[in-house]
């Protein structure tokens, strides 16, 4: 087998593995009500990431106390655990709930 074919097959296998791991990733949209109101989206996301152990993106403010966040985890079980850690932190969050609102962009 030529070196080109070995390279092609190796690269193809790595691409398939990378796509597979992305497909298994879980994303959850959350609405959180902060115990202390804040308008600093970056700080809110950083704190949620530190508490949950997951990657957190700040999405939007609903009000001074309510904020929309997005958690990205390797799998659903990891996201479930991350949400449980957020819900357990009563000093930071009064409420942590799944954001089940429908997007107007969804078909």
pLDDT in tens, 47-105: 999 999 999 999 999 888 999 999 999 999 999 999 999 999 999 999 999 987 766 66
Instruction: Tell me the C-alpha distance between 43 and 58, whole Å.
Output: 9
For each of the domains in the chain, give its residue range(s) and CATH number, in order of start: 26-98 (3.30.70)
User: Measured over all CA atoms, what is the biggest interatomic distance in the chain, rounded to whole angstroms?
Assistant: 64
- Which residue from 59, 48, 58, 57 is spatially nearest to 83, judged by alpha carbons? 48
User: What pTM does this model have?
Assistant: 0.72
Whether the Cβ atoms of residue 69 and residue 48 lie closer than 8 Å to each other: yes
Q: How many CB atoms lie within 10 A of CB 51?
A: 19
Q: Is the pLDDT of residue 12 over 90?
A: no
Measured in whole angstroms, the distance separating CA 91 from the mean position of its chain's CA atoms is 21
């Amino acid at each position: 087998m030529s070196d080109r074919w070995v390279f092609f097959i190796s690269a193809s296998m790595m691409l398939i593995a990378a796509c597979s791991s992305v497909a298994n990733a879980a994303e959850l949209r959350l609405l959180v009500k902060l115990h202390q109101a804040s308008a600093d989206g970056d700080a809110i996301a950083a704190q949620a990431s530190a508490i949950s152990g997951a990657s957190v993106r700040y999405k939007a403010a609903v009000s001074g106390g309510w904020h929309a966040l997005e958690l990205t985890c390797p799998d659903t079980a990891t996201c479930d655990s991350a949400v449980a850690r957020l819900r357990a932190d009563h000093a930071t969050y009064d409420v942590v709930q799944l954001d089940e609102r429908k997007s107007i962009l969804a078909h």
